[in-house]
Homo-oligomer: A and B are copies of this chain.
């Protein structure tokens, strides 16, 4: 490994000068700069970012904790973050927490040890108190931890309301909801919205217990239909479950949307790969990641501080599972 010292010797200048040219900082005569650049090229010198980090106490690395990259909601979110951070010269550590507080804390420790400059977290466990002695720019994504910690989210309650109302507007009277895990706050909000709309319209509440997983949703839908054969609409707590529901329906030769209409939530690609395509409340997933990353960068660079809480808009994407005409 070539060091700055060797470059300095080769170029016959001091290490300070070499440092100046590689950082483009301070005065260096054009001629000297040339010499140094020449030496750098010839020796194939590469600055050692570890040494740099040690001195500067910042590493140009950020951490990113998500529950599970294997969940189709996350890849886009991850991609967006990387796209903006890499432009700003940062590299990204990816950590899968499985939504397990222990793992999350373990990763946070590691990041601290590695002098990470900031971190983006998607978590249902972390609360403000876990972050107390983490003196680091943090942005919460997809969930609010605390008013003091900036966040990027969507309005789950509002989105879910629109989903259920859309079913109503399409003539559904007996609408079932597949709820998500109770530890996930988003999923509770979506459920609450469903319940509220149904109550407001004096319609029966039918809830199936789901876990945001595909396979189970398929099963749950089947049992739900045995109990309530007259269901004519389903609001799935997320798209992954919506796909499971659709599969169950297809298998039972129940026509969608003619017999049962279906709406999901999230806007993942899966909703467009199946037939019929699934109507969903789409989150601006990529934009959320982008926004969170931008906010983090600003905080790291000291251009912004404080507790922004960005709430982005969801969009009802009307597709074939609620649209009789099209499929």
A binding-site residues for B, Cβ under 8 Å = 1, 44, 46-51, 53-54, 57, 59, 61, 68-70, 72, 74-76, 78-79, 82-83, 86, 91-96, 109-110, 112-115, 133, 214, 243-244, 246-247, 250-251, 269-270, 272-275
Contact = CB atoms under 8 A, between A and B. Distances in A.
Contacts of A74: 75
Given A82-B94, A275-B250, A50 B270 contact: no
Contacts of A112: 46
Contact of A247 (B48, B114, B273): B273
A49 B79 contact: no
Q: Which of A91, A92, A275 has the most CB of B within 10 A?
A: A91
A48 B251 contact: no
A69 B72 contact: no
A50 B44 contact: no
A261 to B, nearest CB: 17
A104 B216 CA distance: 40
Contact of A61 (B76, B78, B82, B114): B114
Given A70-B79, A75-B69, A91-B95, A251 B273 contact: no
